[in-house]
Amino acid sequence: MSASTETGVVEAVGKELFIGGKWVAAQDGKTFPVVDPATGKELCQVADASPSDGVAALDAAVAAQADFAKMAPRERGEILRRAYELLMRRQEELALLMTLEMGKPLAESKGEIAYAAEFFRWFAEEAVRIDGGYATAPNGTGRFLITKQPVGPALLITPWNFPMAMGTRKIGPAIAAGCTSVIKPAAQTPLSMLALAGILAEAGLPEGVLNVVTTTDSGGVMEPLIRDGRARKLSFTGSTGVGRKLLEQCADKVLRTSMELGGNAPFLVFDDADMDAAIDGAMQAKMRNIGEACTAANRFYVQRGVVDEFARRLTERMRALPMGRGTEQDVVVGPLIDQNAVDKVTELVKDATDRGARVLTGGSGVDGPGHFYPATVLTDVPQEARLTHEEIFGPVAPITPFDTEEEAVAKANDTEFGLVSYVFTSDLKRALRVSEALEAGMIGLNQGIVSNPAAPFGGIKQSGLGREGGSVGIDEFLETKYIAVAL
């Protein structure tokens, strides 16, 4: 990849705030750097919004809400459909932009653009399927008319690990439902969202319907908007700790909330599993996005009769993964997002080894520029190790043996989180028993990837509230109104 090509895709993106359909500088003129995590070098500067910029963005969303709610559902759907087509047409350059600011390999970035675009295509179709109802009252003297209306202006907060898809997963249903929004992308990866704003404008989205504020002061900018009283919805993807604070803030004005929070996914392999499928699934569930995913397999529980074979084969696969800058050919393991991420992974691995875990491959950081950590496999990991209770968010696979089905389920459920669990077995009865017993909002049964725009995504316990995607995803942006009709 030539330096001029990289420079070109960065220069093509707006660097200012996108408010009321216009690119505007932060009111105080401040900017902040966007850094390539593979090199540590600055890519560009983008506008650093202040609280007053956030209010201006909410003003624009509120001003546009009434007219946008009246727009025909088919017209809203057509905007999303055009945006889907633009995303797919520009997949190559958008993927490069994402790799530069986030670090994931180009092949994965291309996959994310396609995944992100699919949310727009899905919700383009859902826009015309918002339904209601008409029924006779039980006493026969009246009628019930049920209709659905947009919630109203929404606040959207997205993370850095899937900088395009986490945006379209929220923006898509908001537009389909008729809601305007203010979106704040993560400070580490603002460029993908700014590029998306430009694409939606090109697709015909009316001014003020989507407003993008980039900032290094997330709490300072967003908390006043949450407490303002004019926004009626908050959708957040991020850590459980931040999610708790946002829920407290939302209680002040009783905002509707969608929370997609942390995960601690168990990956269960029984001795009757198809081992080829289990290893392939483990590689997908662990190494997608360099392990920086809330759905990443965080704990591997393998039945004792096959644990040695599983560990050996997984180690062979992990050891062979090329590591480097995501723009380089055949690279699979790109950099982590920043040095804090490297330090956390290093700390968790050291804690596990201090408690008796054995390193089969990897296990320590690398010298040189960029925030790299090699693909790592640990075995004999004790249940008290921190990485069995905390999200690793890195390319580390800790393996623990188990003996019985009951033990496996108990260990899998021994967490405050409940986003996704993975199960590999050839026994249909066991598959159903275990899937029903696992405390998670999603189950990967003999497969290592669960995310799909056409399926409801979300967790239970402290992994979140509500669902994104699927036929229920648009309901998060709709209010149900009941009209009592006298005859």
The 10s digit of each residue's pLDDT in 109-119 is 999 999 999 99
Say whether pLDDT at 467 is over 90.
Answer: yes
Q: Rounded distance, CA 83 to CA 197, Å?
A: 10
Backbone φ, ψ for residue 442 (5° rounding): -140, 145
Lookup result for tokens 């696969």: 317
Of 472, 463, 2, 470, nearest to 236 (Cα)? 463
Amino acid at 325: R
pLDDT over 70, % of the chain: 100
pLDDT of residue 206: 98
Report pLDDT for 367: 87
Q: Is the pLDDT of residue 264 over 80?
A: yes
- Average confidence (pLDDT) over 156-178: 98
pLDDT at 404 (0 to 100) = 98
pLDDT digits (tens, 9 = 90+) for 205-227: 999 999 999 999 999 999 999 99
Q: How far apart are CA 224 and CA 231, in angstroms?
A: 10
pTM assigned to the model: 0.96
Place of tokens 């809601």: 179
pLDDT given for residue 363 in this prediction? 94
Q: Is the pLDDT confidence value at 36 over 90?
A: yes
pLDDT for residue 309: 98
Please give the pLDDT value at position 365.
85
Q: Which residues are catalytic?
A: 260
Type of residue at 50? S
Residue 346: pLDDT band with limits 50, 70, 90: very high
Mean pLDDT (whole number) for 188-210:
98
Q: Where are the alpha helices (DSSP H) in 71-209?
A: 73-89, 91-102, 106-126, 165-177, 191-202
Q: What's residue 3's pLDDT? A: 86
Please give the full DSSP string across 5-38, using - where no structure is assigned.
HHHHHHHTS--SEEETTEEE--TT--EEEEE-TT
The pLDDT value given to residue 63: 98
Mean pLDDT of the chain: 97
Euclidean distance between the first and final Cα of the chain, in Å? Answer: 71
Sorted by where each starts, the structural domains of the chain and their CATH numbers stand as 6-261+464-486 (3.40.605.10), 265-445 (3.40.309.10)
Phi-psi domain of 234 (left: phi exceeds 0; alpha: psi -120 through 50; beta: other): beta
User: For residue 17, what are its two tokens?
Assistant: 């705030």
Residue whose C-alpha is closest to residue 168's, from 73, 128, 214, 176: 176
- Which helix or strand (DSSP H or E) is residue 142 part of? strand 142-150
pLDDT at residue 144, as a whole number: 97
Q: For position 372, what pLDDT does the model report? A: 97
Q: How far is CA 23 from CA 63, 316, 352, 381, in A?
A: 17, 50, 48, 51
Structural tokens at position 320: 């062979």
User: Which residues make beta-bridge pairs with 303?
Assistant: 402
Band the pLDDT of 2: cuts 50, 70, 90. Answer: confident
Q: Is the pLDDT of residue 59 over 80?
A: yes
Mean pLDDT of 259-264: 97
pLDDT digits 0-9 by tens, 120-142: 999 999 999 999 999 999 999 99
Please give the residue that has the higher pLDDT: either 364 or 303.
303
Sign of the Cα torsion 286, 288, 289, 290 reads positive
Distance CA 242, CA 264 (A): 16
DSSP annotation of 325 reads -
Quick check: helix, strand or coil at residue 243? helix
pLDDT 10s digits, 387-403? 999 999 999 999 999 99
| Alpha-carbon torsion, ordered 188, 191, 192, 198, to 10 deg | 150
258 Cβ contact list (under 8 Å, min separation 6):
233, 234, 235, 236, 458, 464, 465, 466, 467, 468, 476
Q: Residue 1: pLDDT above 80?
A: no
